[in-house]
Amino acid sequence: MKFIPTCTHAALAAGGLMFAVLASAGGDKMQMMDTNKDGMISAAEHAAGASEKFKKMDANGDGSVTAAEMDTAHAAMGSKTGTPSMSSADRIKSIDSNGDGMITAAEHEAGSRSMFGKMDSNGDGSLTSAELEAGHQKMMGEQPR
């Protein structure tokens, strides 16, 4: 029974990582990720966005993101996401499968895939703007707008 809450927590943490970085100055999450402009975010578009954002957080280019790098990325965004519900260290810990205190691109990708599945509430393989917003609010602990 403990496994299910842990997986959910990991997915939410990965989502928090992803969306905290996506909410950069003036950027619209849907517009940024919907590269084919069909009004939906496919799993492939989501994965590409997650990969790009991981690269931006990995300031020293070593293939891992530390809490300090994540904090720096959040600070560079000017706190557009508000106060996160979890610290960067806690977010990392929740998806850090090898327990080394940082996340690799593979760990981030696995968490992002899980998060996409949880946000895809109708199970059609794509995220609408409503699903994206609801997922973001849930992960970031925000109230609906």
- pLDDT at residue 141, as a whole number: 59
Give all strands (DSSP E) within the chain, no chain letters. 41-42, 64-65, 103-104, 126-127
Report the distance separating Cα 33 and Cα 42, nearest Å. 9
Which residue, 15, 127, 129, 130, is CA-closest to 81?
15
Residue with tokens 């009004």: 39
The tally of domains found in the chain comes to 1
The tens digit of pLDDT for each residue in 7-55 reads 445 444 444 455 444 443 333 778 889 999 999 999 999 999 999 989 9
- pLDDT at residue 144, as a whole number: 45
Which is more confident, 126 or 9?
Answer: 126
What global pTM score does this model have?
Answer: 0.74
Domain around 81: 3-25+47-134
| The token pair that represents 45 in the structure block | 């578009």
Has residue 64 been placed in a domain? yes
Q: In DSSP terms, which residues pair with 41 in a beta bridge?
A: 127
Region 99-103: what's the mean pLDDT?
96
Has residue 142 been placed in a domain? no
Has residue 35 been placed in a domain? no
Least confident of 18-27, 29-38, 72-81, 125-134: 18-27
Q: How confident is the model at residue 138 (pLDDT cuts 50, 70, 90)?
A: confident
Has residue 145 been placed in a domain? no
CATH of the domain at 12: 1.10.238
